[in-house]
Chains A and B, each alone.
Chain A
Amino acid sequence: MSSSKEITENILTKSLEAVTEPNYKVSIRRLDASFGAKQALKNINLDVKENSVTAFIGPSGCGKTTLIRCLNRMHEMTPGAYAKGQVILDGINIYDKKVDPVIIKRRIGMVFQKPNPFPTMSIYDNVAAGLKLNGVKDKKMIHDIVKESLEGAALLEEVKNELDKPGVGLSGGQQQRLCIARALAMQPEVVLMDEPTSALDPTASSKIEELVHELKKDLTIIIVTHNMQQAARVSDYTAFMYLGELIEHGPTKQIFENPKKELTERYISGKFG
């Protein structure tokens, strides 16, 4: 897809410092983040493998949402918020001064906790929004991508005859899948999901979990969840965080069955959090 190539070239020519990490899609190095004077993340170091699902778990306030928002440079959009360190995507540090934060967001997509489809747009226009507003004019291409994205979000069957109906007219679960389709339309390589099912009922939640399973074949997914069972079901790797620090990170099976740190073990067994 030509625009993706242009985007990649832009980032490559704009970035200087590159730390090559083979096999890892995203590498986080010495990341600190704060809201004004309050530090929210301390020295995070983490590698995320391509085509995997990584879950961030931890009690409220541990910094998992802050961390995920640092990965696509949304964190610094909050007034007074600041992040320092390196987040390396395919060998390029996205925090490098030469990188345009707007372009990063086209390669790393995001799905929010509460579904937020654009209220003035139809289902079709919602999915196409990112494309149209980023200069894609070819109607056939938009049409094809919208169809693919809706299919990829397991929503096409349900809405294929109602594409001009308002996006906000769908049920909660459908709206969230619409937001996923909208993010997928940008052909991202990484999708960040911030508690995507916490506003949904169990049936809708399990549909989304199935979706994550399918999507990881082509994408790298990072999902924040406060539901440990969900993390155990859906992820290949799990990172446990507490009070802004990364306590432990490893294959999900190992974290849940054989945690190395005592704090992890206590959280997993429900002793706190």
Chain B
Amino acid sequence: MTSSKRGTERHDHKHALQDIMLKYSARRRFMDKIVTIFVIVCVIAAIVPLASILIEVIKNGASAISLEFLTQPPGSLISGRGGIGPAIQGTLIVVGLASLIGAPIGVLAGIYLSEFAGNGIFPSAVRLFNNVLTGLPSIVVGIVGYIVLVLTIGSFSVWAGALSLSIIMIPIVVRVTEETIKIVPNSIREAGHSLGIPKWKITLYIVLKSAKSGVLTGIILSISRIAGETAPLIMTILGTSLFFSSLTGPVDALPLRIWRLASQPYESAHAAGWGAALILVTMFLALSISLRILAQKKGFTVTRTTI
């Protein structure tokens, strides 16, 4: 008797539960739709500013682009002739030099922190300082660059600009490198050790290779960041209308030139400024995309062998 009574109770519970789940499932589906729409709206809200900036830059800058614009030094501001040749060249040189200094230092420091350092006082201090440096305002870097580098070298110079930019670049690369290397699974390192390969070779040829694309992304990101920095450049390279002459002399750069042109009251200067902005954006879009493609291709080494 008891078993059949319990049986009916269970049956009731089962039905009751099914009813509740049915009612809630309709509500759940409705909430799912609402949240999906909300998320899509947020994505659009995030993309719209970016898209509108790109559109504005293209709209206003396209008319200024010409071969003369890209290769000639600026003429007199009122005449509306001349171009931003020196600025393009200067950006390439200063950013290139900064990357050559910043990337190796950043990667090596990141490797040290993730593979060879423990959690002692020195490594912890390094990590702390690194994190603080990632947030350093670029104008402060500029002032320090001016005092330390410009006054020592005796003039505004490419070196001062490159070194200041590398100070901004290094902490980013260190952080990304350390994080990416930490993600490489330990089983890979153990396999290397079991073959009697010395630790530094395991780190360089096996671990770093696995972390390669992440590290490369970090480097690209930091290059894109420093390419647009104006404040440090104001104080370190001065800007000029001449093409590059020496590493210890002043040089022009795109962010700097854009700022100078935009501050002028002349319409022709503004038009040139838009053109320069378009060039800057295009250059770094191209850099990002081509480095991504390169990293994908080389992400796996192909050995042609048949036995």
* Chain A contact residues, CB within 8 Å of chain B: 72, 74, 77, 102-107, 109-110, 112, 114, 116-122, 124-125, 129-130, 133-134, 143, 146-147, 150, 156, 160-161, 163-164, 166, 179, 182-183, 186
Contacts and interface: CB of A to CB of B under 8 A. Distances in A.
B91 to A, nearest CB: 34
A27 B191 CA distance: 25
Contact of B194 (A110, A120, A150, A164): A110
Contact of A122 (B209, B212, B301): B301
A133 B301 contact: no
A114 to B, nearest CB: 6
B193 A164 contact: no
13 contacts: A74-B190, A74-B194, A105-B196, A116-B190, A118-B188, A120-B300, A121-B301, A125-B301, A134-B195, A134-B196, A146-B307, A161-B306, A164-B303
B187 A116 contact: yes
Contact of B301 (A120, A143, A183): A120
Contacts of B185: 116
A23 B79 CA distance: 96
Contact of B195 (A121, A122, A133): A133
A160 B307 contact: yes
Nearest to B304: A164
B198 interface: yes
A164 B195 contact: no
A186 B196 contact: yes
Given A74-B190, A116-B187, 7 more contacts: A102-B196, A114-B187, A118-B206, A120-B206, A120-B301, A125-B301, A133-B195
B305 interface: yes
B201 A133 contact: yes
Contacts of A112: 187, 190-191, 194
B210 interface: yes
B195 A125 contact: no
Contacts of B47: none
B205 A125 contact: no
Chain B contact residues (Cβ within 8 angstroms of A): what range? 20 to 34
Interface string B268-307: 0000000000000000000000000000000111111111
A54 to B, nearest CB: 19
Contact of A156 (B192, B195, B300, B307): B307
B235 to A, nearest CB: 43
A105 B209 CA distance: 22
B303 A133 contact: no
Interface string B173-204: 00000000000010110111111111101100
Q: Which 3 A-B pairs have the closest CB atoms?
A: A106-B196, A130-B195, A105-B196
B302 to A, nearest CB: 5
Contacts of B201: 133
Contacts of B191: 112, 116-118, 179, 182
A110 B187 CA distance: 12
B188 A119 contact: yes
Contacts of B205: 133
A122 B300 CA distance: 8
A243 B43 CA distance: 57
Nearest to B184: A119
Nearest to B202: A133
A99 to B, nearest CB: 12
Contact of B306 (A114, A150, A163): A163
Nearest to B185: A116
Contacts of A179: 191
Nearest to A135: B201
A258 to B, nearest CB: 36
A110 B196 CA distance: 10
A119 B191 CA distance: 11
B307 A147 contact: yes
Nearest to B191: A116
Nearest to A192: B194
Nearest to B212: A120
B194 A72 contact: yes
A183 B210 contact: no
B195 A182 contact: yes
A9 to B, nearest CB: 16
